[in-house]
């Protein structure tokens, strides 16, 4: 009986993920390679967490090569993101590896689509292929649902999702399933999802590292929904202020039955925009950051004149002057020379007008949490750039971050990624090397304009401290950069303002009216795309917290060939009390 119970538990655990492939290398020794997606449904962007189990019980060392290709549903013309991972398989050893597979950003402006991940196994442990896919409607959130809730509720939730999203071409599958005991311990694994739903028992069963990763994702804007069988949140160690995100605890009866309509609605009625909708709509028209950068025209007249002159020279002038009658054999020399000279002139003009590298602007929304021992900053970065001639466009993300291209205004002739083309024909590559992501491909292209959004969690000791316990506040900045403007709402709802703040020096803010504060804050929030604007507006009026502006803070670096004209950072967070 105990064996049957154990077998059932093992089968249930294995079914929580989505097995991509299992290849048996040697039957006699039971050597194999098994690759499992820890979430059964890939997100529209971000990463897919994958577990690789290798058992080499043979007497000879082997190797395992995994090649992934993520794409949308345009087939061979779609946007693709490639990545690869290699592992040694020492003789008579078993090992397990958790990896993050980069996903192609789902971009579609008119209908639903499918996120696909294909795996090809190579190396001396065997060969094989596997895949996993998921459909999404245009406004369908990406949801993770714990196994305990998935089993009794999946069919009802799928039916409700179908009725809500089917008229938009949506998927019948509401959520991806996961096992809380196998939850990833890297926040980037959750970055592409909008909501995570599980029971309080599953939450406490998750590892401490997994819970920390989820709470980091929440601070960046994720929604954590916990159904409590005990009816309360006692002992769950959840933050009272979840920053950009949302934490909701609801009671649930012992049968774990959910109200399908309320559950589906809860994932779309949120404080911020669904990620895939934000990527599709926030930057494709009237993006404030792109507007502030300005428009660059294209001097058609110069190139038309050059081409007309080329036609005259290579035709009549060449025929009647350079290679006139009796010297027609010179055409074999003069024609290539004229063509070469014209080509060099055109290249020279392009370099003169566009130059090498590029220029751009960055805008960062950063929540700083020095409390509870976090000492971390949770940031969202929007960036827009215009490039000239590029001799190479690869770069390395040195921070733990996610990166997505965004479609920009299709009426701009410099745009390469728009809703009209849906990213067709673009190719990206991302490789993990020593914990950093090395990229190549079409993230930046020559003579183009492109937009990107990044999210990151970085350690910091920077904070705003209150230096006096009462009376008019005296504050102190420990950030290692100056701050131009700071607004602070104290616990009595009085607004204060300070300017030209130097790191390490006390400063005395002056009282201002709520109307003055709102004017400053609305001016800053209006610089962002819709989702980040909402995230800031949800936090900017918290009592005991500040909002500050600086152009001296460093951003998350991408391609080194871009000269960033401005990196504007809006910081917010709690004032540390004495």
Model pLDDT for residues 407-417, shown as the tens digit of each residue: 998 787 888 88
Q: Are 198 and 173 in contact (CB under 8 A)?
A: no
Cβ-based neighbour number of residue 6 at 10 Å: 10
pLDDT at 509: 95
pLDDT at 74: 53
Looking at residue 328, the DSSP 8-state letter turns out to be G
Cβ-based neighbour number of residue 549 at 10 Å: 19
Give residues with Cβ within 8 angstroms of 320, minimum separation 6. Answer: none
pLDDT at 8: 38
In the numeric block, the tokens 């390490």 are attached to 504
pLDDT at 170: 46
Question: Which tokens is 195 given?
Answer: 């909501």
Q: Domains in the chain, ordered, with CATH?
A: 137-281 (3.40.50), 300-345 (no CATH), 355-393+444-578 (no CATH)
- Share of the chain residues as helix, strand and coil, in percent rounded to the nearest 5: 30, 35, 35
pLDDT at 164: 85
Specify burial of residue 143 (Cβ count, 10 A radius: 0-12, 13-18, 19+). Answer: buried
Q: Is 246 helix (H, G, I), strand (E, B) or coil?
A: strand
> How many whole angstroms separate alpha carbon 418 and alpha carbon 412?
9
Strand 143-146 relative to strand 176-178: parallel, antiparallel, unpaired? parallel
pLDDT at 323: 76
pLDDT at 391: 84
pLDDT at 434: 83
> How many whole angstroms separate alpha carbon 429 and alpha carbon 394?
9
Q: Is 421 helix (H, G, I), strand (E, B) or coil?
A: coil
pLDDT at 166: 66
In the numeric block, the tokens 């939730």 are attached to 157
pLDDT at 13: 42
Cα 98–Cα 209–Cα 93 angle in degrees, nearest 5: 35
R_g over Cα of the chain: 28
Q: Are 118 and 131 in contact (CB under 8 A)?
A: yes
Q: What is the pTM of this model?
A: 0.88
The segments of the chain whose pLDDT lies below 50 read 1-14, 169-170
> How many whole angstroms separate alpha carbon 271 and alpha carbon 535?
7
Start-end of H helices in 131-222 = 147-165, 200-205, 208-219
Cα 316–Cα 321–Cα 325 angle in degrees, nearest 5: 95
pLDDT at 352: 65
Closest CA to 578 of 418, 466, 430, 478: 466
Half-sphere exposure of 575 (CA within 13 A, CB side): 27
Helices 147-165, 260-268: axis angle to 10 degrees equals 80
Chain length of the chain: 578
């Amino acid at each position: 009986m105990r064996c049957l119970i154990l077998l059932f538990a093992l089968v249930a655990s294995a079914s929580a993920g989505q097995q991509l492939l299992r290849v048996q290398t040697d039957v006699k020794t039971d050597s194999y390679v098994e690759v499992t997606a820890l979430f059964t449904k890939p997100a529209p962007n971000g990463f897919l967490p994958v577990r690789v189990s290798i058992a080499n019980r043979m007497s000879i060392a082997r190797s395992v090569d995994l090649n992934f290709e993520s794409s949308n549903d345009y087939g061979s013309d779609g946007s693709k993101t490639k990545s690869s991972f290699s592992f040694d398989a020492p003789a008579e050893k078993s090992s397990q590896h958790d990896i993050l597979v980069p996903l192609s950003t789902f971009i579609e402006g008119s209908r639903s689509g499918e996120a696909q991940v294909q795996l090809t196994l190579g190396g001396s442990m065997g060969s094989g292929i596997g895949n996993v896919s998921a459909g999404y409607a245009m406004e369908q959130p990406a949801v993770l649902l714990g196994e305990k809730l998935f089993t009794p509720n999946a069919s009802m939730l799928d039916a409700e999702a179908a009725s809500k999203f089917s008229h938009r071409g949506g998927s019948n599958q509401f959520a991806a399933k996961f096992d809380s005991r196998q939850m990833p311990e890297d926040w980037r694994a959750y970055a592409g999802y909008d909501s995570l739903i599980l029971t309080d028992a599953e939450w406490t069963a998750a590892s401490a590292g997994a819970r920390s990763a989820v709470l980091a994702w929440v601070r960046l804007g994720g929604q954590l929904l916990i159904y409590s069988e005990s009816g309360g949140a006692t002992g769950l160690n959840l933050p009272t202020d979840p920053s950009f995100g949302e934490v909701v605890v609801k009671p649930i009866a012992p049968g774990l039955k959910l109200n399908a309509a309320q559950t589906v609605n809860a994932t779309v009625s949120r404080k911020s925009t669904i990620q895939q909708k934000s990527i599709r709509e926030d930057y494709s028209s009237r993006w404030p950051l792109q507007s502030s950068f300005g428009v660059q025209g294209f001097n058609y007249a110069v190139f038309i004149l050059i081409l007309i002159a080329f036609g005259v020279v290579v035709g009549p002038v060449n025929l009647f002057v350079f290679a006139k009658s009796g010297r027609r054999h010179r055409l074999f020399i003069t024609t290539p020379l004229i063509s070469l000279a014209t080509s060099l002139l055109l290249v020279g003009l392009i370099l003169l007008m566009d130059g090498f590298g590029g220029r751009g602007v960055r805008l960062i929304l950063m929540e700083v949490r020095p409390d509870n021992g976090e000492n971390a900053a949770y940031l969202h970065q929007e960036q827009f750039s215009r490039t000239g001639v590029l001799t190479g466009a690869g770069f390395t993300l040195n921070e733990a971050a996610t990166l997505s291209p965004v479609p920009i205004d299709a009426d701009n002739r410099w745009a390469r990624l728009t809703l009209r083309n849906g990213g067709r024909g673009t190719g990206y590559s991302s490789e993990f090397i020593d914990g950093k992501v090395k990229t190549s491909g079409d993230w930046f292209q020559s003579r183009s304009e492109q937009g990107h959004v990044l999210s990151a969690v970085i350690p910091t000791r920077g904070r705003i401290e209150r230096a006096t316990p009462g009376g008019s506040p005296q504050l102190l900045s420990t950030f290692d950069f100056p701050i131009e403007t700071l607004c602070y709402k104290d616990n009595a709802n009085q607004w204060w303002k300070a300017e030209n703040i130097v790191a390490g020096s006390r400063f005395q803010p002056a009282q201002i009216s709520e109307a003055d504060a709102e004017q400053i804050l609305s001016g800053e929030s209006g610089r962002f795309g819709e989702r980040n604007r909402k995230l800031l507006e949800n936090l900017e009026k918290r009592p005991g917290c500040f909002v500050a502006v600086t152009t001296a803070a460093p951003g998350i670096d991408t391609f080194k060939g871009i000269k960033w004209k401005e990196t504007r950072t809006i910081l917010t967070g709690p004032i540390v009390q004495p």
